[in-house]
Amino acid sequence: MSDYVDIKPITPPIFLDKVTEDHDYLIEKVSPIIGMATSFIRKATGKKKLVNEKDILFLLELDAFTETFVPRSKVLQFLRKQSKKEDKHESFSFKPNTLYQGDALDLIQKLDDHSIKCVVTSTPYWAMRIYDGNKEREWADGEICPFGLEQTPEGFIRHAVEVLYYLLPKLDDEGSIWWNVMDSYNTRTQIRESASEALSAMKGLDSRSWKDYKYKRYSSGHFYLKDGEQCQIPQRIAMRASQLGYYLKSTISWCKTASMPEPQLSRVSRNVEYILHLSKQRTPIFNKSIYLKLPP
């Protein structure tokens, strides 16, 4: 990684390559990549089980297409790559009651299908905090960066949804995912290492100038977000998770009694984060009687 990291939301125009290869894909495999239900794909293409690459291009040009985590220009390449990876699947024996540290995407793909009952996680916030052990990886959209330090909020959303994509087959049919995520503003700001460092800066106790910060975020260059506008990251992750095939059971508001101050005069301050409750079926295991006994 370079000594100084600037996050500049420059969105390059990339066009869809319409050169096809002679491949057929299971509709169930295509569905989460293009964000369309299997029933809709069958209706639109007239196919029952398999679609070819010309069918996929047809689907990508429909008004119903919206991106999940693979940009439209990379859908065919991703499906081809996935077909090759499935032939080289690595098995790994996880020991019970053991903590494993590593790249989440690599470890998730080594889990057995239907082996997880519950996932509870709090991901990084987009371009708001520097975390110890930041590790670059190449994502399905082609960006190479640590999770949370993407050039655009769309990149962060894609990468969050990519993790959810790999978790989906590993989750038990009655299991749940509890996904904590916070929103960000599209603002020009220094990216700091801790809440205490941010508080110190708010009090005017930070003597460093703009150029002294290793990580900086800019706001100009995004294809529609304006400076100072809220990005709506939790809502957009929730929508794409539904397109992957999850049920969005609840968007839970986590009200915080000790949130960071926000010295803004043009809006109210926020004291809430969000937890997305996701499941594979309409009625996952949920003991509501215990939930009701918890203190408020």
pLDDT tens profile 61-96: 999 999 999 999 999 999 999 988 776 666 677 888
| Residue 2 pLDDT level (bands cut at 50, 70, 90) | very low
Terminal-to-terminal C-alpha distance of the chain: 44
Find the range with the poorest average confidence among 34-38, 55-59, 106-110, 194-198: 194-198
> Counting Cβ atoms within 10 Å, is residue 282 exposed (0-12), middle (13-18) or buried (19+)?
exposed
**What is the token pair recorded at 224?**
């529609």
Most distant pair of Cα atoms in the chain: their distance? 65
What residue type is 240 in one-letter code?
A: R
Q: How far apart are CA 255 and CA 235, in angstroms?
A: 17
Q: Is residue 32 over pLDDT 70?
A: yes
Dihedral sign for Cα 98, 103, 109, 115, please.
Answer: positive
**What is the token pair recorded at 267?**
């809006």
What residue type is 259 in one-letter code?
A: S
Single pTM value for the model: 0.90
Q: Residue 1: what pLDDT?
A: 43
DSSP code at position 115:
-
Element of type H or E holding 43:
helix 38-45
**Cβ count within 10 A of residue 145:** 20
Are the C-beta atoms of residues 118 and 286 closer than 8 Å to each other? no
Q: How far apart are CA 167 and CA 95, in angstroms?
A: 19
Q: How far apart are CA 84 and CA 266, in angstroms?
A: 52
Please choose, from the candidates 77, 229, 242, the residue with its C-alpha nearest in 3D space to the C-alpha of residue 164. 242
Query: In this predicted model, which residue has the larger pLDDT, 71 or 211?
Result: 71
> Counting Cβ atoms within 10 Å, is residue 21 exposed (0-12), middle (13-18) or buried (19+)?
exposed
> In the chain, pLDDT over 90 holds for what percent of residues?
60
Q: Which residues contact 67 (CB under 8 A, 6 or more apart)?
A: 35, 158, 240
Task: For the domain made up of 5-16+99-293, give the CATH fold.
Answer: Rossmann fold (3.40.50)
Segment 87-134, tens digit of pLDDT: 666 667 788 889 988 889 999 999 999 999 999 999 888 988 888 777
> Counting Cβ atoms within 10 Å, is residue 256 exposed (0-12), middle (13-18) or buried (19+)?
exposed
Q: How far apart are CA 249 and CA 279, in angstroms?
A: 7
**What is the token pair recorded at 120?**
């509870």
Cα Rg of the chain (Å, integer)? 21
